[in-house]
Amino acid sequence: MICIVRHGQTDWNVEGRYQGRCDTHLNEVGIMQAREIASKINNKKFDVVFSSPLKRAYETAQILTDQDIIVDDRLMERSNGDFEGKLKTEIEGKIDFNDPSENRIENINDFRNRIEDFFLDITKNYKDKNVLVVTHGGVCIYARCFFEGEPLDGDYSNYKVSNCEYLEYEQKVKSKRKIINV
């Protein structure tokens, strides 16, 4: 079983800012969210725990478990380049996040490749193990694609998860990935 948890709330989530690789901490609500999820999964025994190195994910992982946490850079959120820290309302409709030439935004195919690479490693190296993965919203979207397949209607926003939302998968891969040309 693979359990994926998005990090708890940060002040930037509340403010509607693009976080990307900015290293923000959980706020009080985020800490409470993580504690609530911890109480729901406390009867699960994880063989291994992975986390993004970014503080908001790592802090969430520390609240969820007292086990050792393996930090994996492939679980970092997509870099939003020059737009990190800006309000979403400031730049809404002004940029194309699928065009990596703009404003040092991480290429969407590179982003997806590293997420897919991580989950391919997990399904290969931890077969029949219980794995906890703590990461970010964008990573969760493409984790869902990996395990559930692409959204049938093509609307990836339907795969968004809330702060501290918990996803659980058997180790069966359904990805029939579309290559996004940018």
Joined together, the tokens standing for residue 44 give 């699960």
- Output the pLDDT for position 91: 83
Q: Give all domains of the chain, ordered by start, each with its CATH number.
A: 2-169 (3.40.50.1240)
Cα–Cα distance for residue pair 66/84, rounded to 1 Å:
31
- Output the pLDDT for position 121: 96
Specify the DSSP element, H or E, that contains 169.
strand 166-169
Q: Answer yes or no: 150 catalytic.
A: no
In tens, the pLDDT along 30-87 reads 999 999 999 998 888 999 999 999 999 999 999 999 999 999 999 999 998 888 999 9
Cα–Cα distance for residue pair 64/36, rounded to 1 Å:
9
Residue with tokens 């309302």: 89
Specify the DSSP element, H or E, that contains 37.
helix 28-41
- From the candidates 7, 84, 106, 116, give the one annotated as an active-site residue: 7
Q: Which residue has better confidence, 156 or 97?
A: 156
Quote the pTM value.
Answer: 0.90
Q: Which of 78, 56, 75 is closest to 10 using CA atoms?
A: 56
Joined together, the tokens standing for residue 75 give 């679980």
Residues with Cβ within 8 Å of 134's Cβ and at least 6 positions away in sequence, in order, are: 4, 5, 6, 7, 49, 50, 51, 52, 57, 58, 60, 61, 64, 69, 75
* Pairing, β 131-135 against β 166-169: unpaired
Where does the pLDDT of residue 179 fall: very low under 50, low under 70, confident under 90, or very high at 90 and above?
A: very low
Where does the pLDDT of residue 171 fall: very low under 50, low under 70, confident under 90, or very high at 90 and above?
A: confident
- Output the pLDDT for position 62: 98
Joined together, the tokens standing for residue 66 give 């007292």
Cα–Cα distance for residue pair 168/2, rounded to 1 Å:
6
Joined together, the tokens standing for residue 147 give 């395990």
In tens, the pLDDT along 103-150 reads 788 999 999 999 999 999 999 999 999 999 999 999 999 999 999 999
Q: Which of 41, 146, 145, 154 is closest to 49 using CA atoms?
A: 41
Q: Answer yes or no: 28 catalytic.
A: no
- From the candidates 25, 36, 59, 77, give the one annotated as an active-site residue: 77
The residue type at 53: P
